[in-house]
A and B are shown apart, each in its own frame.
Chain A
Amino acid sequence: MKSNFLYVIYILWLRQIKRYFRSRARMVGSLGQPILFLVALGYGLGPTFAKAGGGNYIQFLAPGVIAMGILFTAVFSGIEVIWDRQFGFLKETLVAPVSRFSVMLGRTLGGATVALLQGVIVLCISLFVGFHPVFVSIPLAILFMFGIAIVFTALGTGIASVLEDMQGFQLIMNFVVMPTFFLSGALFPLEGVIGFIARFNPLTYGIDGIRATLIGVSTMPGGLWLDGGVLIAISAIFLATGAWLFSRIQV
């Protein structure tokens, strides 16, 4: 029974991975925005950031852009549930003799893996625009990247479970994804009111964790332990909520 539970998770994970590697347009297309941010903002705002005493802006920006790549891919991987609902594959999984929790978990792990791969690719690209991370810390940074991926894939799946069609897509972009990104310290140091608001944003802790591991700078008072703890706690909450919402889907 347990092995079948794990096998179902594995095959749904595998499905996401296969779909990702088959869709080259999606792979390349989703890299456009991170590259634009790295080049345009990195080189454009770099001198001003340095003059203001902030140091090397590419060093500051790269972890934020890596997290951005993960955030967008993760949310949209979760939202694929809507496509599956509209184009039928969801029914195939919902009438299968397996728990909906295993279905949701497999999809979420698959989507999170895809998002992590996207983040690793952005990390590699950032090396070519002048980012110099602490290489030995990359495995630890990848754990934080995976934490972000899990949190936001589960969020995307939860949101998609209550949406009937893609009409709500713009709503999610404008009221969930973009505020999450801009209020996370990805692009600028967190101070004042924005800094206070950002403390309620799980992405803030993910980015702080990546920044702390890759360049040795943490702005959160609890450091890596707090970052990791918050990501684990929010992952658990979002997975549980997402699973509950997913279990209530009617087709």
Chain B
Amino acid sequence: MPTAISVKNITKKFNHTLVAVDGISFEVEAGSTFAFLGPNGAGKTTTIKMLTTLISPTSGSITVNGFDPTKDAKKVRKSFGIVFQDPSLDDELTAYENMFFHAGLYGVPRKDTPAKIKEMLGFVELWDRKDDLVKKFSGGMKRRLEIARGLLHTPAILFLDEPTVGLDPQTRNHIWEYIKKLNKERGLTVFFTTHYMDEVERIADRVAIIDNGKIIANDTAANIIANSGTKSLEEAFIKMTGHIIRVDEATAADAFRKMAAMHQGKNRR
């Protein structure tokens, strides 16, 4: 199997002091589903931001679909779709308009755009609601629309940063069914984070667990459970990462930036 994502010894420091990601390495096979797990503030979102060109690593190397995000950012961006942890739709636009603007930004040929939008909105069963403003949509519908939007330009990789957070079990199930279908039928590589361990056991071909910026496990869910001597992935996860409740900042990077700013302020005084 060719490699879709290759991460070699990457570190991310904020303000040269605080280490958010500490020398991690892993590979994701093309066409696989890869779960990237960790407690709040462990470095998951920072890693996704580095993979998706939003921030650069302090050291180490990354390739996404064979391209280096720090050197070929545009080629990398064309090759993936992303569903962010927080909604990133424009609520004042209709579902169709959100798709249309995405198509324009990602260079989908103009003559193909209407058909692609129809196909993807049909795929997530939102074609009938295409002319409704997004602010009228439920949380689940917004998530489905974001997935459709992320797939509009036919990416090879789909990044999903906690795509099912805050959704009811029915909607979560619905969304994972879509994603698994895409993975099977289109060979889409799926890289996702979630706190729902049952989803991981059901969906992921491979699982990496990050804690305090370091990878502490990288195997199949079954092997992680077996090696930890527990009965479920949730138990294995808690055994490996501990019982202490982590500070739940907006994002890990935000927390690190805040800490770094405080640290620098103290030094100046």
Do A and B pair up? The answer is yes
Closest to A4 in B: B107
Closest to B74 in A: A97
Inter-subunit contact B54/A94 (CB<8 Å) = yes
Inter-subunit contact A97/B90 (CB<8 Å) = no
Inter-subunit contact B86/A93 (CB<8 Å) = no
- Rounded to whole Å, the gap between the CB of A26 and the closest CB of chain B is 10
Closest to A251 in B: B54
Query: Within 8 Å CB of B78, what residues of A?
Result: 97
Inter-subunit contact A91/B106 (CB<8 Å) = no
Inter-subunit contact A11/B87 (CB<8 Å) = no
Inter-subunit contact A15/B101 (CB<8 Å) = yes
The contact of B54 among A88, A91, A98, by CB within 8 Å, is: A91
Inter-subunit contact B102/A250 (CB<8 Å) = no
Query: Within 8 Å CB of B53, what residues of A?
Result: 95
Query: Within 8 Å CB of A7, what residues of B?
Result: 104, 110
- Rounded to whole Å, the gap between the CB of A82 and the closest CB of chain B is 15
The contact of A15 among B86, B87, B90, by CB within 8 Å, is: B90
Inter-subunit contact A97/B75 (CB<8 Å) = yes
Inter-subunit contact B55/A88 (CB<8 Å) = no
Query: Within 8 Å CB of A12, what residues of B?
Result: 101
Given A92-B88, A95-B54: A15 in contact with B77 (beta carbons within 8 A):
no
A250 to B251, CA, bound (A): 13
**Is B105 part of the contact surface with A, judged by Cβ < 8 Å?**
yes
Chain A interface size band reads 20 to 34
B91-99, B122-130, B182-190: which lies at the interface: B91-99
Closest to B86 in A: A88
Most buried by B among A8, A10, A22, A91: A91
Query: Within 8 Å CB of B86, what residues of A?
Result: 88, 91
A90 to B82, CA, bound (A): 13
- Rounded to whole Å, the gap between the CB of B3 and the closest CB of chain A is 21
**Is B89 part of the contact surface with A, judged by Cβ < 8 Å?**
yes
- Rounded to whole Å, the gap between the CB of A50 and the closest CB of chain B is 46
**Is A175 part of the contact surface with B, judged by Cβ < 8 Å?**
no
Most buried by B among A15, A91, A95, A96: A95
Query: Within 8 Å CB of B75, what residues of A?
Result: 97
A76 to B52, CA, bound (A): 30
**Is B84 part of the contact surface with A, judged by Cβ < 8 Å?**
yes
Given A88-B84, A88-B87, A250-B54: A96 in contact with B92 (beta carbons within 8 A):
no
Closest to A103 in B: B105
Q: Residues of B within 8 Å of A, CB-based: how many?
A: 30
Inter-subunit contact A95/B82 (CB<8 Å) = yes
Inter-subunit contact A97/B77 (CB<8 Å) = yes
A67 to B91, CA, bound (A): 30
A19 to B135, CA, bound (A): 13
- Tell me if A's interface is mostly helix, strand, loop or mixed: helix
Inter-subunit contact A22/B54 (CB<8 Å) = no
**Is A87 part of the contact surface with B, judged by Cβ < 8 Å?**
yes
Given A4-B107, A95-B54, A98-B105: A89 in contact with B84 (beta carbons within 8 A):
no
- Rounded to whole Å, the gap between the CB of B34 and the closest CB of chain A is 19
Q: List residues 36-58 of chain B with CB under 8 A from any CB of chain A.
A: 49, 52-55
Most buried by A among B52, B54, B73, B110: B54
A11 to B90, CA, bound (A): 13
Q: List residues 96-121 of chain B with CB under 8 A from any CB of chain A.
A: 97, 100-102, 104-107, 110
Query: Within 8 Å CB of B100, what residues of A?
Result: 11
Inter-subunit contact B93/A15 (CB<8 Å) = yes
Query: Within 8 Å CB of B104, what residues of A?
Result: 7-8, 10-11
Inter-subunit contact A89/B89 (CB<8 Å) = yes
Query: Within 8 Å CB of B133, what residues of A?
Result: 22
**Is A132 part of the contact surface with B, judged by Cβ < 8 Å?**
no
Query: Within 8 Å CB of B54, what residues of A?
Result: 91, 94-95, 250-251
Inter-subunit contact A91/B88 (CB<8 Å) = yes
The contact of A87 among B49, B73, B82, B91, by CB within 8 Å, is: B91
User: Could you mark each residue 1-31 of chain A with 1 if its beta carbon is under 8 Å from any beta carbon of chain B, else 0?
Assistant: 0001001101110110011001100000000
Query: Within 8 Å CB of A4, what residues of B?
Result: 107
The contact of B93 among A19, A91, A97, by CB within 8 Å, is: A19
The contact of B101 among A11, A22, A87, A97, by CB within 8 Å, is: A11
Inter-subunit contact B106/A92 (CB<8 Å) = no
Query: Within 8 Å CB of A91, what residues of B?
Result: 54, 84, 86, 88
Given A7-B104, A92-B102, A251-B54: A18 in contact with B77 (beta carbons within 8 A):
no
Closest 3 CB pairs of A and B: A88-B88, A96-B105, A11-B104
Some 11 contacts from A to B, beta carbons below 8 A apart, are A8-B105, A23-B92, A89-B88, A91-B84, A91-B88, A95-B54, A95-B82, A96-B102, A97-B77, A250-B54, A251-B49
Chain A positions near chain B (C-beta within 8 angstroms): 4, 7-8, 10-12, 14-15, 18-19, 22-23, 87-98, 250-251
